Structure 1
Amino acid sequence: MKFVKDIELGDPSSNHQNFIDLKLKLLCCRYWLLELWDCHEMVFPFWRLYWNKNTGGQLIHQDNVFEMDTNHLYIIPPFTSFSSRYTKNHIYNDGVHVAGKQLNTNYNEDDLENMFLIHFFVHFNLGVPFDSVYPGILKIELTDYLKDRLQYLTSRLKIENKDFKLTFNLKLQAFIKEALTNIGPELWKTINIDERVLKVIRYVEVHINKKLSNAELSSLVNMAPNSFARLFKEEMNVTLHQFIQNRKIAKSCELFEHTNKSIEEVSFNLGFSDRYHFSRVFKSVTGLTPASYKSGKYT
């Protein structure tokens, strides 16, 4: 037997193919009974996918109010400022107030539809540059395929919501990717951004723990700082400074979710001068303090 190496990867065709590298990273997936969902002007650095089994949920973005129905998914890109509400139990007009419990096999869902919002959600990231698309709330119609996957996912979450088997992970990823295929092409214009901007974005991701200046980043692509700043704003619809802050806060949320690092450790690891500076930036981006986010009292 001979091991064949580097001969066009075994492909008999000479035609080169270009694939898009999508790095889907799952952060959480839950099925809840919500009795309170009064959340105002929330901003998070990851994608959020919502589905409610019953009516009564609202999502608000700018002047648009989405009455959430059972035949649609609602997808919220990173850094979208939005509010949510369970209309049957609306109390607070500001702040973030959530109350509920995990749905499991001890509950009969049909008996609870008039008492709770039956709420499925997933948080995930797609990697650079797809976590920097335009903000908004996207309404996706449920196809038969999505309904079938949703039925499987919610039934499994009632049984197990911590240590997921490979089958669950694969079906959840397939569900998310299928939902994303229903988003219009205008959302994905980031795949065609200027190569110079993309180079800097990738550099920021790798060096997110450092203090990054406009002069340093513009020199990577041999441009004057002001010229590159204008190019970046045109391509990304956000300033370079704001983009760096957003990515640092996104990384801090990931560290809070998946490590035991303190707020002080996270702020130091991401190049902030002190905890207080980090906390100010964190709240300006997410609307929450790091302590509130770290406590996990939101959905």
Structure 2
Amino acid sequence: MGVVNVGRNPLLVLIVGCGNIAGVFDQGRSHRDPPYTHAGAYTRDGRFNLTACIEPDDKRRSEFMAAWGVPAGFRSIEQALGSGSQFDVISICSPTDCHAHDLEMALHLKPKMIFCEKPVSTSVAETKRLVTECGKLDIPLGVNYTRRWDPDISKLQADMQAGRWGQLRSVVGYYNKGILNNGSHMLDLLNLLVGPMDIVKVGKPIQDYFPNDPTVPAWLEGAQGVPVHLVCGHAEDYAIFELQLVFSRGMLTMEEGGMFWHERRVLDSEIFKGYRVLEEGVRRAGEYPRAMLQAVDNIYRAINQGDPLASTGESALAAQHVCEQIKQQACEP
């Protein structure tokens, strides 16, 4: 992240929804720990002011305001609109079912940027409409597919483009808790690293958390027929979000959502002469905890310097389109 004190007025932030990703996950943690939430990242960055929040639950709103020093609170986005307040950045952290309404109302506040939690909405048609509306009003839409700001992912993307791991042979992604809720994270990441993919086959849907968002196994193919497999866990067992990439020069595994990485290179076997095998490798801590700080830095620079956003409404729509296709095929009679 760049230098925070650049002599400009801080950007004014409105946070819609006062739940976990808005700020609760960071409440009670040391200020030295990396932030995982919107409020935590804006506060740590230092170039933003949390000026207001919206939350229909009075107790939750009051606790959020006290925890983050937010001076103004509203029960609804309509109430914020009627107050005449102005905001530079609006973070949409409300439940997914509320995103479409909240995002549409946020456009009436005419911010310089909207930063929406994933997915943008519950359907491709609705997301496409909202992305189009943002474009018409020239209001940039960032979507929090956080790994697009993970330094490890940026480095991996560069390494793959430079051929440092050799040819990509296959990919396996492990996830649970819904093809849209968590699967969209995986498919957005795969779109970034592998590129556009075709669906070859989908398996039986697994109802492991959300009634209308099953977890679905799938087989896809990337460019040059690279096989990509989505493998399911069950949300009742434990959380899982991991990615394994098999290259001609080794194997790379993202573990615990990017909190750790396991790198294994190819070497000559000491036991079987003439064979090449994977070394035991190194497991190292990942840079994922820096992602939210990278995200708000990207937002600041996008507003003040015109930098491109790493995660946009368009890239989010592309991932959601694949999610919806997988779900439709899995639920066909």
TM-score by length of 2: 0.26
TM-score by length of 1: 0.28
Higher strand share: 2
